[in-house]
Amino acid sequence: MKIINLEQWRKNEPSPYSHMNFPIILYWSPKAGCTTLLKWFLYQADLLDVALEYHPWVHQYEVFIKSKPEYIDELLSSLPYKDSYKLVRNPYTRAVSGFLMLFTYMDTILQSVKEHLYNDPHSPKGLSFKQFLYYLKDLGVGHGHIEFHFAMQYREGEEHYIDQYIYLENLSDELAKLERKYSLKKSNLSDLSNSHHHFSSLMTHRGNFANVSFTDPAFPKLPTYSSFYDYEAIQLVRELYKKDFEKYGYSKNIKHL
């Protein structure tokens, strides 16, 4: 049985994915595969069809379920006994994903960034990836300092209640292992990972885009992850997400992106 400081846990963690008939607890961070993980969890708990019927965007069902007092009660009672896993992502790709998200469905946050940079939330000026990183540096990426999609993944003390990490870069194999270990249903991850806010298949342009100003990158093709990085951008991400690199063991080399 794990000994958990519930006061610290309540302060630090977004509600993980948990169900009375599901043998493990799944922790997550925004922009780190949380939608795919949520769909997999709902599929395993026989709730995916119910969730999609409630709303095509499964996070709406998540909010609905987590608003019920019994959800938290059941979760708290199972915390010391169930195995806990956390899905994590390479900080380099996660930072780029957060940047691109600004131009899709985060108009209010984009306005806040422009207010900070240009003193005008409605400025027609574009935004480069490196400007975005300096915005993060100015505000800080600690939890509570900035919009949680851009905050660091690591949460203070999580090593006391997280038993193992799942790496997004190897998600298919890692979820298959969990399915075998806990006698869960075999899933089709390609179906579960289909989402309108995933950019990877569009990211084909190569070059140096660290300083390129974007106004609306929702065009047919986007730069590759590594193309957003020059030396300065690399150093900024290493500094901003230092704890994520250290705690999750990610390489600081971008050649494999």
Closest by Cα among 131, 155, 150 to 140: 150
Output the pLDDT for position 230.
Answer: 96
Which tens digit of pLDDT belongs to each residue from 130-176? 999 999 999 999 987 888 889 999 998 888 889 999 999 999 999 99
Domains of the chain, residue spans: 6-89+152-193, 91-151+199-248
Closest by Cα among 58, 140, 146 to 106: 146
Output the pLDDT for position 232.
Answer: 98
242 pLDDT tier (thresholds 50, 70, 90)? very high
Which tens digit of pLDDT belongs to each residue from 182-231? 999 999 888 887 765 567 777 888 889 999 888 765 555 788 999 999 99
Which tens digit of pLDDT belongs to each residue from 50-66? 999 999 989 999 888 88
Q: Which residues contact 223 (CB under 8 A, 6 or more apart)?
A: 203, 205, 206, 207, 209, 212
Output the pLDDT for position 210.
Answer: 92
**Nearest-angstrom CA–CA distance, 195 and 191:** 9
- The token pair at 12 is 């630090």
5 pLDDT tier (thresholds 50, 70, 90)? low
Q: Please identify which residue in the block is written with the tokens 């047919």.
A: 220
Output the pLDDT for position 118.
Answer: 94
Angle, vertex CA 16, rays to CA 193 and CA 158, nearest 5? 115
- The token pair at 24 is 């493990």
Pairing between β-strand 164-167 and β-strand 222-223 as defined by DSSP bridges: unpaired
Output the pLDDT for position 4.
Answer: 64
| pTM of the shown model | 0.90
Is the Cβ–Cβ distance between 96 and 228 less than 8 Å?
A: yes
Query: Can you spell out the DSSP letters for 150-175?
Result: TS-S--TTGGGT--EEEEGGGHHHHH
46 pLDDT tier (thresholds 50, 70, 90)? very high
